[in-house]
């Protein structure tokens, strides 16, 4: 059996358990891009450390995160192959006690690339220009900024997730990066955007794209930025704008702001003791954010919000 065939069978037998659609799509695409050209057609029993390194080394320093995931996928396919009797011996893609002696750790080569973000002092003017634009994409971008959510979470929003009366948007776990349900309190302006949209009886999606029954594409928000001649920005960067505003302009605690962004808590002790999601405090936070986004100010005129987080 070739490595490519083994990988195909591994994916078929495991993809039903993968809730994240992006994760499921990345498995075959990354193997096709980086592994199959090197040893995809070779017998899975013949894959050795030399071949694994030949596939990984070209991208290890340039794309460390991708390379690390590719290594893990090779390792899983080879473990599956051994369990099915298609190969024997140690796994040449194993990291601990093996490849960690041959390749630098990802943390040593990883360069953090920050998404271009709009300075929070300029958000009022930007949002004013955005509100003047017509179409679904500008409304989706404005909604994403007001809710501090990711592009995929916004364009994938469905009406059953929205509680208009309670001003709440509940994003199910399978659509969240961390795999946990996320409740998003909606500001008055966010609700106003939703009320302005026309629902489609053939689709549950909130932001409907050009294809019948389908949502907007992930690229649609980026294209809106291009129409605004803001190629210096990314949609994801507005989450950084929100986070900078939280830190510089409010007294809300760090953990509250991180929770609003649905970030995973890295401190295991803190995560163990945190049971709620600070919903009511986050509701005030998102109300203040919407208020700030709706005010056009000059940089020198920005006045910090003095509302205490526990008010």
Q: Could you tell me the CATH number of the domain that includes residue 78?
A: 1.10.150.130
Tell if the pTM clears 0.85, that is, is over it.
Answer: no
Tell me: do 213 and 91 sit in the same domain. no
Domain enclosing residue 211, as ranges: 120-301
Judge whether residue 164 has pLDDT over 60.
yes
> What's the number of domains the chain is made of?
2
289 in any annotated domain? yes
Pair 140, 244 in one domain: yes
Report pLDDT digits (tens) over 34-77.
999 999 999 999 999 999 999 999 989 888 888 999 999 999 99
- Do 101 and 125 lie in one domain? The reply is no
10 Å Cβ neighbour count for 251?
13
Q: Is residue 115 part of a domain?
A: no
Residues 94 and 145 in one domain: no
Q: Bin 22: left if φ > 0, else alpha if -120 < ψ < 50, else beta.
A: alpha
Q: Are residues 135 and 277 in the same domain?
A: yes
Q: Which of residues 109, 130, 154 is at a domain's end?
A: 109
Q: Give the pLDDT band (50/70/90) at residue 305.
A: very low
For residue 54, the model assigns a pLDDT of 95
Regarding whether 176 and 98 lie in a shared domain, the answer is no
| 200 lies in some domain | yes
Nearest Cα residue to 176 out of 235, 264, 112:
264
Phi/psi region, residue 181 (left: phi>0; alpha: psi -120 to 50; beta: rest), is beta
CATH number (domain holding residue 161):
1.10.443.10
Model confidence over 259-292: pLDDT tens digits? Answer: 999 986 544 434 444 556 788 999 999 999 999 9
């Amino acid at each position: 059996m070739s490595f490519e065939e083994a990988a195909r069978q591994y994916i078929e037998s495991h993809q039903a358990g993968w809730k994240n659609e992006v994760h499921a799509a990345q498995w075959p695409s990354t193997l096709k891009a980086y592994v199959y050209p090197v040893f995809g057609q070779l017998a899975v029993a013949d894959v050795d450390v030399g071949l694994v390194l030949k596939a990984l080394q070209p991208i290890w320093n340039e794309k460390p995160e991708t390379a690390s995931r590719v290594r893990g996928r090779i390792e899983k396919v080879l473990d599956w192959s051994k369990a099915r009797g298609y190969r024997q011996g140690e796994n040449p893609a194993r990291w601990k006690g093996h490849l960690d002696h041959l390749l630098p750790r990802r943390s040593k080569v990883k360069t953090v690339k920050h998404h271009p973000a709009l300075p929070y002092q300029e958000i009022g003017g930007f949002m004013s220009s955005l509100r003047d634009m017509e179409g679904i994409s500008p409304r989706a971008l404005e909604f994403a900024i007001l809710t501090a959510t990711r592009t995929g979470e916004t364009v994938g929003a469905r009406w059953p997730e929205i509680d208009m009366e309670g001003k709440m948007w509940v994003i199910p776990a399978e659509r969240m990066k961390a795999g946990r349900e996320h409740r998003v309190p909606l500001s008055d302006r966010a609700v106003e955007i939703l009320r302005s949209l026309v629902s489609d009886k053939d689709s549950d999606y909130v932001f409907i794209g050009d294809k019948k029954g389908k949502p907007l594409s992930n690229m649609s928000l980026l294209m809106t930025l291009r129409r605004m001649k803001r190629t210096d920005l990314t949609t994801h960067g507005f989450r950084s704008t929100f986070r900078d505003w939280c830190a510089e302009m409010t007294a809300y605690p760090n953990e509250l702001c991180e929770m609003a962004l649905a970030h995973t808590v890295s401190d295991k002790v803190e995560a163990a003791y945190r049971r709620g999601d600070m919903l009511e405090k986050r509701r005030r936070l998102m109300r203040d954010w919407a208020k700030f986004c709706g005010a056009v100010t000059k940089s020198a005129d920005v006045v910090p919000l003095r509302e205490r987080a526990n008010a």
